[in-house]
Structure 1
């Protein structure tokens, strides 16, 4: 099968447990009976049955059995209802050096395109959100990404 999905990478200084709990809370509102798969396990868990203190680094989410079959046959792609499976992967990072071009503050949407900067982060969390499509071109993918950003307790 060809590689599908669109990788969206977020770096944050938030703790993984905080972010992952916020994401699961949001998913419960999106798909109350979501099928979840964590850390390469073969079995799926219904969202209502998750342990309260679950710690995970890889999570994959499908609305129901129909979407799971669609995912197995088509990868990360939208279904006819405009929704699709998505994944979230966490990676704890020690020291990062990011080179930025164009800087935007969360509470000040003015972009300074000629402004470049170097960002050094120590002990940060990298979150890769795999959406069915480019969030700039698809409303469901945008919804997933925006809620993952909001899970870091930042406004986008």
Structure 2
């Protein structure tokens, strides 16, 4: 299958596995018959541990077998209902990450944003994550809602 969708990329902290559990629960609210990894969602789903190689992990999401079949034929695309499959690619980086200046902060309050804006970033380990949706979230309401649900899974204000 070709990667035909739109990638929204993130650097996330060690809360990623638990946030993914929340993201999966949100997906199940969207689609009660949620498929993860091409199969019906397991009741005890947890993010599998990954090795330290490129995008060692992937979690795929669809509404069911019909969307799985659509995906196989059309790739990441919107179906007639305006919805489509999406995936999360991730890689754990056990090495430090730093940035000289943090900008574009959204922290839920002006005070919290002011406290972080312009500061340096230091992380001991992190996940590089790509959320692949059927279309550009700036143009497509379904893809935008998936991106918002992903951010909400981290308790993000937006």
**Equivalent-residue separation in structure 2 for 1:8 and 1:95 (angstroms):** 22
Q: Which has the higher strand share?
A: 1
Picking from 144, 147, 150, the partner of 1:148 is 150
- SS of alignment partner, residue 141 of structure 1: helix
Alignment of 1:71-150 (within 5 A): 71-93=71-93, 94-98=95-99, 102-108=103-109, 119-150=121-152
**Equivalent-residue separation in structure 1 for 2:6 and 2:100 (angstroms):** 22
**Unmatched tracts of structure 1, length 5 or more:** 38-43
Could you say if the C-alpha distance between residues 99 and 88 of structure 1 is closer, same or farther in structure 2, counting changes exceeding 3 Å?
A: farther
- SS of alignment partner, residue 103 of structure 1: coil
Structure 1, residues 80-117: CA drift from partner, whole Å, max 9, x if none?
A: 110000001221122234576852332258x9xxx877
TM-score (norm 2): 0.78
Match of 1:13 in 2: 13
**Unmatched tracts of structure 2, length 5 or more:** 49-56
1:34 and 2:34 are equivalent in the alignment: yes
**Equivalent-residue separation in structure 2 for 1:83 and 1:65 (angstroms):** 14
TM-score (norm 1): 0.79
How many residues in Structure 1 have an aligned counterpart in Structure 2?
145
Asked whether the equivalents of residues 86 and 133 of structure 2 are also in contact (C-alpha less than 8 Å), the reply is yes
Asked whether the equivalents of residues 8 and 130 of structure 1 are also in contact (C-alpha less than 8 Å), the reply is yes
Displacement after TM superposition at 1:45 (Å)? 2.2
